[in-house]
Structure 1
Amino acid sequence: MFSSFPLRHPHNDKLRLFYEETYCGYSVMQHEKGPLIENFLERSLYTLNLAQEENRTTFTFRVDLRFPDAMPRLRMHDDNAVLARFFRFFFYELRKADTKYAPSPRYLWAREQADSDKPHYHLMFLLNKDAYDSLGIFSPDKNGTYSRQNLYHRMMRSWLKAMGFAADDPRFRQLVNVSDSPVTKVPWSSILHLDDWCAMDEAMYIASYLCKAYSKPVNQGIHVFDSSRR
């Protein structure tokens, strides 16, 4: 698959490159344009394990946060402050929902930029299944806004507000893209049970997509990957 096998990232020698098809016994998704970053695989597996240890069952899913195509390059695209605002608004939405059980959110995120003048973000969420077990309807309501109280609408409202738009701005459609399963080609989500190796293997495979070296703007001097720290 690869023509050469350097051990370190050319723009940051602290990042170790990884070429195998499995990591710590779990399947990973190698990219045709380059290897994975082992540091990020390590953090991903650690975060998945923490979620499983905390929750009886864990609901997990992957989304991409994208800026509107017509939006010009702005200062907000030069750092990750907009992503921090998204998390703040989204976690406020989760608290406001006042579910019977605490959602106990954990997450992974990656910043990527390839052919666009703007970056985009890949995220993986892990929530207590007793609080949430589905994303809900993706499409807007009858008024063309995202007013429903499901997870997807909460994420859309949070992303719009993070970018400085009103949460009920009807101009935008699905800037939060739920990632498809590479096998079934339908929006992916999964339930993780403690000691369920198959579900964990699938989750690690999905998470490893965030760990690819390709399209990570490592040379821009900003973070390109991180996880929750609880």
Structure 2
Amino acid sequence: MFSHCPLRHPNNDKLRLFYEDTYRGYSVIQYKKSPLIENFLERSFFTLNLAQEKNRTTFAFRVDLHFPKAMKRSSIHNNNTVLTRFFRFFFYELKKANTKYVPSPRYLWAREQVGSEKPHYHLMLLLNKDAYDSLGVFSPGKDGTYSRQNLYHRMMRSWLKAMNFAADESCFKQLINVSKDHLTGRPWSSILNIENWYAMNDAMYMASYLCKTYSKIINQSTHVFDSSRR
């Protein structure tokens, strides 16, 4: 599949490149003949395992955060402060929901940019399944706003506020795309527990998409991948 297999990323020799179809016994994606970054795979593996150790069951899902097409390039796109704000607002939304069980959020994220003047973000979110087990309705309410109390609407409000838009702004449509299952074409989510190898295999496959070298601008003083640290 690969005719040339350097061991390190040409723009950052601390990043190890990975060319196999499995990592630690779990399936991973090789996208557009672009190797994966082993450092990111290891962090993904660690974060997924940590969630399963801490929760009886874990609700996992993948989303992509996009800036509005009409939004002009500005300083907000030069670093990841907007993503930090998103997580702060989203965690506040989770706390405000006052669920019976603690959500215990964990995450992986990747910053990518290809064919656009603005970047976008890929996320994998991990929540205590006893607190949340679905994303809810994706579409806005009849008034065009994202005011429902489901997970998707909470994420949309958080992303709008992170970009300094009003949380009840009605002119934006689904700036958060929910990733689809590569086999069924339906929105992907999974319930993980420490004894379910198949669910973990599926989650590692989905997480590995965040670990690809393709479309990541490396070594420009901006992080392109990270995870929760709890």
TM category (shorter chain) comes to: over 0.9
Say if 2:63 is the partner of 1:36.
Answer: no
**Aligned counterpart, 1:94:** 94
Counterparts of 1:68-83 in structure 2 under 5 Å? 68-83=68-83
What is the root-mean-square deviation of aligned Cα atoms in Å? 0.6
**4+ residue segments displaced more than 2 Å:** none
Partner of 1:116: 116
Q: Normalising by structure 2, what TM-score?
A: 0.99
Residues 67-103 of structure 1 deviation map (CA, whole Å, 9 limit, x = unaligned): 0011110100000000000000000000000000000
Q: Secondary structure at the match of 1:107?
A: strand
Q: Does 1:200 align with 2:200?
A: yes
What residue in structure 2 maps to residue 51 of structure 1? Answer: 51
Answering whether residue 185 of structure 2 is matched by residue 176 of structure 1, we say no
Structure 2 residue aligned with 1:15: 15
Secondary structure at the residue paired with 1:218?
coil
Runs of 5+ unmatched residues, structure 1: none
Q: Distance in 2 between matches of 1:124 and 1:161?
A: 20
Amino acid at match of 2:148: R
1:191 corresponding residue in structure 2: 191
- Work out the number of aligned pairs and report it: 230
Distance in structure 2 (CA, Å) of the matches to 1:172 and 1:219: 32
Q: Which residue is equivalent to 1:63?
A: 63
2:193, 2:219 → 1: CA distance? 38
In 2, Cα distance between equivalents of 1:219 and 1:43:
19
Asked whether 1:226 is paired with 2:214, we answer no
Partner of 1:104: 104
**Cα offset, 1:3, TM superposition:** 2.3
Query: How many percent identity over aligned positions?
Result: 75
More displaced 10-residue stretch of structure 1: 219-228 or 121-130: 219-228
User: Given the two structures, how large is their TM-score scaled by the length of structure 1?
Assistant: 0.99
